[in-house]
Each structure stands twice: as structure tokens, then as C-alpha cells.
Amino acid sequence: MESIKIEQLLEKYENAETSLHEEAVLKDYFNNNDVAPHLQQYQALFGYYAESKNENYSKPIRLNTKKQHWKWLSVAASVVLLFSVYTGYTNNQEKKEAKIAFENTQMAFQLLSKNMKKGTTAMAYLGEYETTTNKIFKNNK
């Protein structure tokens, strides 16, 4: 009784009039049941379809992420560049500050020495006083 129904389905199947559900019935019949002898040639067909569906793509899928690597590389490069510019700048700034400080102290020292000279010229007059006083009060030493 089963095989008559299957035969009808097979005819519909060959005319491409079966629904997916009906085709599932056919596949199920030929892959799981004891198939009627006169229908056995179909067993290979549906067995093959079921088998084909088990074939898988087993390799991992590689995606092109090279572009992203380049992107990250450029980001890294710019970070390094920024950092080096920053350190160079601060170094330079420190040197400048040191130079300014040096100049300032130099200026201060110059001022000091100038005033010191003034003081010593004034002292020269004092020396003059000494000689004149020596002339007036004859020192008998």
C-alpha cells in the first residue's frame, strides 16, 4: 500500500510538481525503509542526495584583515612620532630654560662685578688719602 503512494509521489516528483514536504517524504522512505524491489533503483538516487548534504567545507575561512593591520600600523607609527616630537620638544624646552637661567645668572654676576669695580675705584681715592696723610704726618718708621 505504501509503494503505490510512493509511486504516485515519484511521478509528481519527476514532473517537478512535488512540494518540499512531499520530497521529504520520498527521501525519508528511500533512506529509512525497506524499499520495494521494483523501486530500488531510486534508493541510490535519494541516498546520494542525502549523502551529498553531509559534505562540509571543513577548512577555516580566512578573511582579509591585512588592510586593518596597515591601519593599526599607521596608528602605531603616528603615536611613536607624536611621542618623539613631544619628548624632543620638552628636552628642547628644558635646554632653553637652562640657557635663560644661565644668562640671567651671568647678567647678575656681571652686575655684581661692575659694582665691585666701582667700589675698588673708590678705594683708589682712599689710597691717595693715605699718601697725603703720610706726607703731612711724617712717619718715622
Task: Give the contacts of 6 (CB within 8 A, at least 6 positions apart).
Answer: 26, 29, 36, 39
Task: Give the contacts of 59 (CB within 8 A, at least 6 positions apart).
Answer: none
Site for another protein in 36-65 (CB under 8 A): 40-45, 47-53, 55-57, 59, 61-65
Q: Which of 4, 15, 69, 131 binds another protein (CB under 8 A)?
A: 15
**Angstrom distance (rounded) from CA 132 to CA 18:** 144
Least CB distance to another protein at residue 74 (A): 20
Which is nearer to another protein, 68 or 105 (by Cβ)? 68
Binding residues vs another protein (CB under 8 A): 13-17, 20, 23-24, 31-32, 40-45, 47-53, 55-57, 59, 61-65
